[in-house]
Amino acid sequence: MLLFTLLITLPACLWSLKVSPLIEKISDHKDFKKLLRTRNNVLILYSKSAAVAEHQLKLLSDVAEVVKGRSTVSWVDCGDTESRKLCKKLKVDPSSKPSGVELLHYKDGTFHTEYNRPETFKSILAFLRDPEGAPLWEEDREAKDVVHLDTEKEFRRLLKKEERPLLVMFYAPWCGVCKRMMPAFQQAATDLKGTYVLAGMNIHSPEYDRIKEEYSIKGYPTICYFEKGKYQFQFENYGATAKDIADWMKNPQPHQPEAPEVPWAEQDSSVHHLTDEDFDQFVKEHRSVLVMFHAPWCGHCKKMKPEYEQAAEVLHSSEDSPGVLAAVDATASKALAEKFHISGFPTLKYFENGEEKYTLPHLRTQKKIMDWMLNPEAPPPPEPTWEEKQTSVIHLIGEDFRESLKKKRHSLVMFYAPWCPHCKNAIPDFTSAADIFKEDRKIAYAAVDCTKEQNHDLCRQEGVEGYPTLNYYNYGKFMEKYRGERSESGFTGFMRSLREKDHGRVGKRKEEL
User: Quick check: 107 and 131 in contact, CB under 8 A?
Assistant: yes
Measure Cα distances from 349 to 253, 288, 344, 359, 381 in Å: 47, 11, 12, 4, 14
Question: Smallest Cα–Cα separation from 487: which of 459, 473, 468?
Answer: 468
Q: Could you give the CA distance from residue 103 to residue 76 in angstroms, rounded to a whole number?
A: 10
DSSP 380: P
Pairing of strands 197-202, 147-149: parallel
346 cis-preceded (ω within 30 degrees of 0): yes
Q: What is the C-alpha to C-alpha distance for residues 83 and 26, in angstroms, rounded to an integer?
A: 8
Please report the beta strands in 115-229, taking only residues with DSSP state E, as ranges in sequence order.
Answer: 147-149, 166-171, 197-202, 222-227
CB 333 within 8 A of CB 279: yes
What single-letter DSSP state applies at residue 52?
G
The dihedrals phi and psi of 125, each to the nearest 5 degrees, come to -60, -45
Distance from C-alpha of 501 to C-alpha of 498, rounded to nearest angstrom: 5
Edge-to-edge strand ranges of the sheet holding 477-481? 394-395, 443-449, 410-416, 469-474, 477-481
Residues marked active site are found at 175, 178, 298, 301
DSSP string, 77-146: ETTSHHHHHHHHHHT--GGGSTTSEEEEEEETTEEEEE--S--SHHHHHHHHH-TTSPPPGGGSGGGTTS
Q: Which of 67, 64, 60 is nearest to 120 (CA)?
A: 60
110 neighbors 37 (Cβ within 8 angstroms): no
State phi, psi for 460 to the nearest 5 degrees: -65, -45
SS3 188: helix
Tell me if 48 sits within 8 A of 95, measured CB to CB. Answer: yes
Closest CA to 34 of 511, 508, 513: 508
Rg, C-alpha atoms of the chain:
31
3-state secondary structure 435-456: HHCCCCCCEEEEEEECCCHHHH
CA distance 284 to 263: 26
